[in-house]
Amino acid sequence: MVAHRMVDVNGVRLHIAEEGQGPLVVLLHGFPESWRSWRHQFGPLADAGFRVVAPDQRGYGRSDHPDDVAAYSILHLVGDVVGLIQALGEEKAYVVGHDWGAPVAWHTALLRPDLVLGVAGLSVPPPFRGTEPPLTAMDKKFGGRFYWNYFNRPGVADAEFAKDTRTALRKFFYSASGDVPGGAKQPLVDPERGWLAAMPDPEVLPRWFTEDDLDALTESFSKGFTGALNWYRNLDRNWELTAPWHGALVTSPALYIYGDRDPVPAFPGTPEFIESLPDRMPNLRRKPLKLAGCGHWTQQERPAEVNAALIEFLRNCS
């Protein structure tokens, strides 16, 4: 059974879910999610002999939501993972992340390889620091319509998503899934209409995302979306803070999994970057695993395939 408790970490209180005994595996969710995005991984990983822990990351769910936008930088987020490993009485851990959790996992391995037994990223590939700040780059490329730039406008997306949280989340999950008709599209926003206006609203949820799942996720956003959106508002600050690691590679044993209908791996320049990963990363344990027909919500849409790949990777990291 999954147990729940609060842990003091890096100046904040984090809600964590945990199950199993053995080497520690930290599972890091993305936007707009919670610890429950890993609900299909707890049992299989625990049964495979691992101690599985998934926090609500800062700004999410029952964890603290700092008011200061600057408190959501990548250094704070990696610090939370480092502090969590130590608070759990462990010296090292495997770190696995999806969506925004993937950059946190990758950067934990990049900044503290001494603590990371292995790192896996779902949807978002390993970090590549470009030549200019990401918000600036996307603003130039898409005239301010890329969703990162929309999220960067103080209070705007916060209000749009909080107006009807359940509908917003239902649209998010369906629109980025492998179930939506058509291929992956660039997430561009009409700044006057907002992001949700162009998203289809399904009459029936995909089979992998139930009404109970939606209810629980909606409840986890009862404090609003600002904490989660503040992660995006640090994209340019993260680019500045990670300057010392420009060009550095993740050297820990690594795994990358993504869906071929996920819009994130289709971001500008990303398909070519994914193709180059086997040459860039000396410890990538297999070619990037591409799941046919899978959208953005990798471990929820394809739990059996993700679990099998994770367990094989974790068992063979050492």
Catalytic-residue membership of 47: no
For the stretch 285-294, pLDDT in tens is 999 999 999 9
Q: Do 261 and 295 touch, CB atoms closer than 8 A?
A: yes
Supply the pLDDT for residue 114.
98
For the stretch 219-242, pLDDT in tens is 999 999 999 999 999 999 999 999
Would you say residue 36 has pLDDT above 70? yes
Supply the pLDDT for residue 295.
96
Supply the pLDDT for residue 186.
83
Catalytic-residue membership of 8: no
Would you say residue 246 has pLDDT above 80? yes
Q: Taking the mean position of all CA atoms in its chain, how far away is CA 123? A: 8
**Average pLDDT taken over every residue of the chain:** 96
pLDDT, greater one: 106 or 184:
106
Across 2-19, average pLDDT: 97
Supply the pLDDT for residue 184.
67
Supply the pLDDT for residue 318.
65
Across 126-154, average pLDDT: 94
Q: Do 209 and 218 touch, CB atoms closer than 8 A?
A: no
Catalytic one of 56, 64, 80, 99: 99
pLDDT-derived band at 147 (thresholds 50, 70, 90) equals very high
Supply the pLDDT for residue 128.
87
Supply the pLDDT for residue 191.
84
Across 99-116, average pLDDT: 98
Would you say residue 154 has pLDDT above 80? yes
Q: Do 313 and 279 touch, CB atoms closer than 8 A?
A: no
For the stretch 164-188, pLDDT in tens is 999 999 999 999 999 999 866 789 9
Would you say residue 19 has pLDDT above 90? yes
Across 110-127, average pLDDT: 97
Burial 180-215 (b: 16+ CB within 10 A, else e): beeebeebbbeeeebbbeebeebeebbebbeeebbe
Supply the pLDDT for residue 185.
77
pLDDT-derived band at 35 (thresholds 50, 70, 90) equals very high
For the question of whether the overall pTM of this predicted structure is more than 0.95, the answer is yes
